[in-house]
Structure 1
């Protein structure tokens, strides 16, 4: 039987499951034992993989904390492609909503641990800031591809509004321990606010040819 178009193959799905299992095991151990007390060997054992396998997915213990962020940004990049007859704004909303579905469902028990670690540790805060800057640059580039007529300032501002707004709401919901339904409601509201901030950019409302 052939794989569905656009759907990852069996090998890719297995790799995604292993990556997610490692990340979830790491956050659980950080919550139970503490960040410094948890070793890469501990994480690998909890995820039922070898330390060598751990390093094939993550360069360091710090990087595992950002697994979900990196995965979701990659998903946004994949989804932000031009669709004939659809305006860039419609593409952006559809893409963000699909990604937020995954965010609301992930790390229900350990989301607050992830946020707390980033806020408490200067090295992780620095990495988070760099990732956010990289995300804004990536989204800006995607917006330019999606909407060739967009001005430089509009692309920069739109990327900042989208990335900054959604990141702030996700972090707040996890820090405060929102349940999945409450988090989804909050994220829906955030999408509305982001969209409201972007509707003044005419280039985003023109349908793609």
Structure 2
């Protein structure tokens, strides 16, 4: 019985991946996600009902695509972070390692792709919400790297920093995308001032020792 269940799970996973792969192909071809679920079903060689079984709403599909886009960023971050020596576990070394690893990823490219897959009639508030939700996928890997490099650091302080970093990146992406350039022409050079502003703000205001209790 277990083998039957495993086989069904494997088949479902293959179908899920086939639908996502088809969606990615359509996005690359059209430079946006303006395809219907019928078109997606045809490209994936499945029924329309099967598509809805895996992605009941358009938002479900959009977030799944965002997950895939950011998976590459997460993997690049993890790989780059492992290449930077832990050093003396000082705060300065930690920030150098985290920001060096982030800078080595193609985060601006991922942001451009995420925006491209959103419907053109999305409101700024909706785009902002989706961007924030997508970037929270970075939470886990940054938190793990923080605990690895700064063992014994108070978990509340770590959570505050990770939350501030991810939300800072989301806010930076919003302002970057509003700087007056077309999404396909948005320059990584234009992204750098926003990225470095987040870094500077966080570097001087987070993961500092808590003040001694006066009680």
Distance 1:141 1:115 in 2: 36
Question: Which residue of 2 is the match for residue 187 of structure 1?
Answer: 191
- List gaps (5 residues or longer) in structure 2: 1-16, 87-92, 209-215
Is the Cα–Cα contact under 8 Å of residues 94 and 149 in structure 2 kept in the other structure?
A: yes
Question: Which residue of 1 is the match for residue 213 of structure 2?
Answer: none
Q: Could you list the per-position Cα deviations for residues 4-37 of structure 1 after superposition, in whole angstroms to 9, with x for gaps in the alignment?
A: xxxxxxxxxx97865522445687353xxxxxxx
Q: Which has the higher contact order (CA 8 A, sep 6+)?
A: 1
Q: How far does residue 194 in structure 1 lie from its aligned partner after superposition?
A: 2.0
Distance 1:115 1:140 in 2: 34
Is the Cα–Cα contact under 8 Å of residues 74 and 138 in structure 2 kept in the other structure?
A: no
1:49 aligns with 2:44: yes
Question: Which residue of 1 is the match for residue 66 of structure 2?
Answer: 69
- List gaps (5 residues or longer) in structure 1: 1-13, 31-37, 204-209
Question: Which residue of 1 is the match for residue 98 of structure 2?
Answer: 92
Is the Cα–Cα contact under 8 Å of residues 132 and 163 in structure 1 kept in the other structure?
A: yes
Distance 2:45 2:207 in 1: 52
RMSD: 4.4
The range that moved more, 162-171 or 72-81, is: 72-81
Q: Could you list the per-position Cα deviations for residues 107-156 of structure 1 after superposition, in whole angstroms to 9, with x for gaps in the alignment?
A: 6xx638458536576xx987766555565466434422343243323312
1:144 aligns with 2:147: yes
Structure with max Cα Rg: 2
Distance 2:97 2:186 in 1: 25
Q: Is the alpha carbon distance of 1:106 and 1:75 closer, same or farther for their aligned partners in structure 2, counting shifts above 3 Å?
A: same
Distance 1:28 1:155 in 2: 37
Is the Cα–Cα contact under 8 Å of residues 169 and 190 in structure 1 kept in the other structure?
A: yes
